Amino acid sequence: MGKKRIIQQTEEELLKEKDKIEAKVRKEVKTAPARLREGRVYISSTYNNTIITLTDLSGNVLGWTSAGSIGFKGTKKATPFAASKVSEALGQIAQKLGIEKIEIFVKGIGSGRESAIRSLSARGLDIVSIKDVTPVPHNGCRPAKVRRV
């Protein structure tokens, strides 16, 4: 195949590249406005996992956690205990940001729905409303084709 050539950059090129990367990182880092008061919590509870997202009122994501990111593996991710641990972790994020009032939007049919809401209220967050936004099919899926034997 031949020898591989390694291209070495000069120090000036490396500094320019580093500045570009740092500028992008600074742009992407979201800083919450000073002492947010209200936020929205989206709980997605499936048969396999529980994902909880914290946003401000305009929908910008401030933080998220899931049972998998905390360290649960396999079928343990779908348990109510894992969901409560996930919401406790998100409650800590909310307290660091200074959020006191939250609106909760629950989606999915997993076992961690109620336990997540209970542990969010136990963390001292004032729950303004709870809304179920689980999608409901109007006419269902297309049926399977007729089996020919």
pLDDT value at 36 more than 80 = no
pLDDT value at 53 more than 80 = yes
What does the pLDDT look like over 119-137, one tens digit per residue?
A: 999 988 999 999 999 998 8
Mean pLDDT value across the chain: 86
Question: What pLDDT score does 131 carry?
Answer: 96
Task: Give the least confident one: 3-17, 32-46, 103-117.
Answer: 3-17
pLDDT value at 40 more than 50 = yes
Q: Is 111 exposed, middle or buried (0-12, 13-18, 19+ CB in 10 A)?
A: middle
Q: What is the mean pLDDT of residues 64-92?
A: 92
DSSP sequence for the chain: --PPP-----HHHHHHHHHHHHHHHHHH---PPTT--EEEEEEEE-SS-EEEEEE-TT--EEEEEEHHHHT--GGGGGSHHHHHHHHHHHHHHHHHHT--EEEEEEES--TTHHHHHHHHHHTT-EEEEEEE-----SS-SPPPPPP--
Q: What is the mean pLDDT of residues 65-83?
A: 92
Confidence of residue 12 (pLDDT cuts 50, 70, 90): confident
147: phi then psi, degrees, rounded to nearest 5? -80, 130
Confidence of residue 114 (pLDDT cuts 50, 70, 90): very high
Residue 133 contacts residue 106 (beta carbons within 8 Å): yes
Q: Which CATH number fits domain 38-132: 3.20.20.70, 1.10.287.130, 3.90.25.10, 3.30.420.80?
A: 3.30.420.80
**pTM to 2 decimal places:** 0.71
Task: Give the least confident one: 7-11, 49-53, 56-60, 133-137.
Answer: 7-11
